[in-house]
C-alpha cells in the first residue's frame, strides 16, 4: 500500500550529504510507488526566531502554512539533518518552534500542563541523521541528546510514532564506498516507506 511521505531536509545547504541522503530516500520511495513531497528548509522564507516566545504567536509565513498543510496530508514524515553541537541545526529547531504550535501539533487540556491532546497522531517518522561523532560514542557517552529531543520531546509529544532513527557517521573522513552504502541504505528505507 502506498504512503504519502513528506521529506524535510533540515540541513540549510541543499548540496550537503544530507541532501544526497534525502535524494536517495526520495528515489527509493517514488520507485516503490509512494507519493512524495519534499521541503528543503534552506530554501524556505521564514523567521526561525520566536521573538516573544509563546507569549505572542507570530503570524506564520506562507512557507510555514504550506509546510503545515503538507504535514497534515502525510502519513510518514522523514527528517534529514546533521547533528551539530549534539542536536539538530538551529534552522530545523526554529521550524518546529514556529510551526508546531498549540492547536496545530498539540493542545493542553484545560488547567493542565502535563495532560495534552496529540494532534499529529496517526503519522510515523524516520530521522536520517548525519554526524562526525561515531554513532556508538554519541549513544553511550553523550546519551543522544538530539535524538531524544527530536523523537521524544517534539515528534512523540505531538503524537507522531513510532519515530525511528538511522545514524550515518562519522561522515568526516568517510570513504566513497561507505557513503555509497549509506545512500543505498536510505534508498531501501524509502522503498519500504520506513
Handedness of CA 99, 100, 106, 109 (dihedral sign): negative
Q: Assess contact for 113 and 119: CB atoms under 8 A.
A: no
Q: What is the DSSP string of 58-73?
A: PPPPHHHHHHHHHHHT
Reported in sequence order, the residue ranges of 94-162 that DSSP labels E, i.e. its strands, are 106-108, 116-118, 124-130
Cell 502525510 maps to which residue?
74
- Could you identify the residue written with the cell 520566536? 50
Total number of domains constituting the chain: 1
3-state helix, strand, coil in the chain (%, to 5): 40, 25, 40
Which domain does 118 fall in, by range? 4-191
Residue 151's pLDDT is what?
98
Q: How far apart are CA 3 and CA 1, in angstroms?
A: 7
Q: Is 92 exposed, middle or buried (0-12, 13-18, 19+ CB in 10 A)?
A: buried
Interatomic CA distance for residues 18 and 133, integer angstroms: 15
> How would you write the pLDDT of the chain (194 residues) with one tens digit per residue?
899 999 999 999 999 999 999 999 999 999 999 999 999 999 999 999 999 998 988 999 999 999 999 999 999 999 999 999 999 999 999 999 999 999 999 999 998 888 999 999 999 999 999 999 999 999 999 999 999 999 999 999 999 999 999 999 999 999 999 999 999 999 999 999 99
Question: The domain that contains 64 carries what CATH number?
Answer: 3.40.50.360
Amino acid at each position: 500500500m502506498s504512503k504519502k511521505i513528506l521529506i524535510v531536509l533540515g540541513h540549510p545547504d541543499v548540496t550537503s550529504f544530507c541532501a544526497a541522503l534525502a535524494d536517495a530516500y526520495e528515489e527509493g520511495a517514488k520507485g516503490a510507488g509512494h507519493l512524495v513531497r519534499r521541503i528543503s528548509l534552506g530554501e524556505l522564507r521564514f523567521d526561525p526566531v520566536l521573538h516573544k516566545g509563546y507569549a505572542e504567536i507570530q503570524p506564520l509565513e506562507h512557507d510555514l502554512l504550506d509546510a503545515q498543510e503538507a504535514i497534515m496530508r502525510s502519513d510518514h514524515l522523514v527528517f534529514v539533518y546533521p547533528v551539530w553541537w549534539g542536536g539538530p541545526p538551529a534552522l530545523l529547531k526554529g521550524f518546529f518552534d514556529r510551526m508546531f504550535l498549540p492547536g496545530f501539533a498539540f493542545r493542553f487540556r484545560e488547567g493542565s500542563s502535563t495532560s495534552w491532546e496529540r494532534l499529529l497522531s496517526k503519522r510515523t517518522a524516520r530521522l536520517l541523521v548525519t554526524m562526525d561523532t561515531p554513532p556508538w560514542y554519541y549513544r553511550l557517552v553523550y546519551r543522544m541528546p538530539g535524538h531524544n529531543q527530536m523523537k521524544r520531546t517534539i515528534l512523540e509529544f505531538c503524537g507522531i510514532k513510532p519515530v525511528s532513527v538511522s545514524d550515518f557517521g562519522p561522515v568526516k573522513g568517510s570513504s566513497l564506498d561507505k557513503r555509497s552504502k549509506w545512500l543505498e541504505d536510505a534508498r531501501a528505507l524509502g522503498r519500504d516507506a520506513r
